[in-house]
Amino acid sequence: MQKIHFFLILSFLSGTAFNACAKEKEPARPAPVLKFSVPSNGDSGASVSSSIVFTFDEVISLTSEARVTVNQLPVEATTQLTELTLKLALEPETHYSVHIPKSAIQNTFDVLLEEDIRVEFTTQKSGEVAFDKNFYIFVCFGQSNMEGQGAIEALDRLVDDRFQVLQALDCDNLEATKGQWRTAVPPLCQCYSGLSPADYFGRTLVENLPDSITIGVINVAVGGCDIRLFDKDQYAAYDSTYTDPWFTEKIQAYGGNPYEHLMQLAKQAQERGVIKGILLHQGETNTGDTQWPEYVKKVYMDMLNDLSLEAEKTPLLAGETVNADQGEVCCASMNAIIATLPEVIPGAQVISSAGCTAQDNAHFDAEGYRKLGRRYAEAMLPLLQK
């Protein structure tokens, strides 16, 4: 059952600010932004669960007098940091009026809104979302470092709406559904994964590209996997590299075939935008295997063929494992093999991990992932301008 999502961004004419009762007024602050998604199962008469999210420029909370309504009916409202979320069931082709009383929201200094927030919108008819040539999509895959093992901190949860992720799995804890585009608040790979190179790759592109460009990522990765788990002709021989649940359950979550799972998502993404590149972080499990570049080439060529892509327009970026400059690490010797990838795949680029800090002998820490992700983006930016 395919789910389609509509995104709307509205600004408020009245510049919302906070007011400390009738005394001194706080300096005017930017108006909040309304964004909402409407999943659809193709039945224009079916209601669907959705959320309306208001994002403010500072941390907010609900007051004891909070009573938020949609079409004059009270709805459940929750806050987390700078976001106010309203949960409700939306009908396609229906008009909605949202009312947030000024007495409902306060900041950390108990300062209330100056005026009520009122927003009206009409949901669209169920159907396909328009293709956008300015929606740049990147396919990400690999093992645990691409999954993301970094601790997700408060600064990592503040994400521009122009950076989107196509949800790879159903995750109740994230209130996210497989096949749904959402703002790329981590985790981007699995329900309980951490910060990954994809996070700051996307953020850095958004910061350096025109406002007309939206960035999307798809991330399917399996910690501990051999690169051949992503070989569509050999994957079955590598789905039990480890027999522990932490490994086998991840593969089961991807329907037993991570490559096919990734391709299905990528084909869905092509209905919305253009795949501009492929990001890989893998190699720890294949340390010492000089055939690794050939294995990667096989997977890369399969992806290009299955997605009808051209190598010249879809570069492959591969990151190094944790660098030897981090002390006693497991797999730094693999970087010499990774360095030969451009000899096997013309146009491929290797992303240095030098100076990217680690939390153990195999995984980067949060700051290491941020630095590595920015480097992926710095390598991609000039390629997008060709």
- Of 102, 89, 98, 103, nearest to 34 by C-alpha is 98
Determine whether 244 is an active site residue: no
- Maximum separation of any 2 CA atoms in the chain, in Å: 72
DSSP 25: B
Residue type, 199: D
Determine whether 95 is an active site residue: no
- What's CA 229's distance to the chain center, in Å? 23
The rounded distance, in Å, linking the Cα atoms of 206 and 41 is 31
The rounded distance, in Å, linking the Cα atoms of 88 and 271 is 27
- What's CA 127's distance to the chain center, in Å? 23
The rounded distance, in Å, linking the Cα atoms of 263 and 265 is 5
In angstroms, the Cα distances linking 386 to 315, 381, 383 are 12, 9, 5
- Of 256, 273, 27, nearest to 135 by C-alpha is 273
Active-site pick, 5, 261, 281, 363: 363
In angstroms, the Cα distances linking 376 to 155, 193, 202 are 20, 20, 9
Determine whether 360 is an active site residue: yes
Active-site pick, 43, 170, 233, 360: 360
Tokens encoding 132: 């956008």
Active-site pick, 144, 193, 196, 353: 144
Q: Which residues are catalytically annotated?
A: 144, 360, 363
